[in-house]
Amino acid sequence: MSHTQWEYKIVDHSNSTSMGYSNPETEEFKRANIDKNWKLEMMNIEINKLGRDGWEMVGINGSNEIYFKRKKES
């Protein structure tokens, strides 16, 4: 019987700085997404980046912390 081992990550998506954007980058992103909810768009981009790296979202709490897991490489 094999035992899958997991890595876990908690990501704070409460603001653009916690997502890795500088203030100038954030302002540029806001201008480019003026007709959208820029924070939601930015968060979706970052979540998709994690997904491409093998991270799977497993939960979220009310303080914008998102929980991820992925299979641990042997």
Q: Give CA separation, 39 vs 29, 33, 51, in Å.
A: 9, 9, 18
Alpha-carbon torsion 19, 20, 22, 25, what sign?
negative
pLDDT at 6 over 70: yes
Structure tokens at 47: 């979540």
Residue 54 in 3-state DSSP? coil
What is the pTM assigned to this prediction?
A: 0.78
pLDDT in tens, 54-68: 999 999 887 789 999
Asked whether 15 and 69 are in contact (CB, 8 A), the reply is no
pLDDT band at 1 (very low <50, low <70, confident <90, very high): low
